[in-house]
Amino acid sequence: MSYDYEFVKKKIDDIKTKGRDLIQPGADMVKEQMGPFRIWAEKMSRKWHREVDGEAKERTIVKELARTMGSRTSN
């Protein structure tokens, strides 16, 4: 039985290694392409969540949406 266990363990390790070798280049490419987006998102997050004197500053996007949408009137 120990022979079968060792054989199966080796096969599983081989499959893991081959799968990793196939997927890793694509994952690295996606990570590289998403870098600028991640940096932009971090900057915008810091900008939107800036706090002044302990009170959260109103988010810029909320101001822009309110200005664009205007006040809605109900019929």
Domain ranges for the chain, please list them.
2-69
Q: What is the pLDDT of residues 18-69, one digit of tens each?
A: 999 999 999 899 888 988 888 888 888 877 666 544 455 556 667 777 777 7
Is the model's pTM score more than 0.75? no
Does 73 score more than 70 pLDDT? no
Name the 3-class secondary structure at 46.
helix
Strand, coil or helix: what is 9?
Answer: helix
DSSP 51: E
Residue type, 53: D
CA-wise closest residue to 56 among 46, 70, 65:
46
pLDDT of residue 40: 87
Per-residue confidence (pLDDT) for residue 53, from 0 to 100: 44
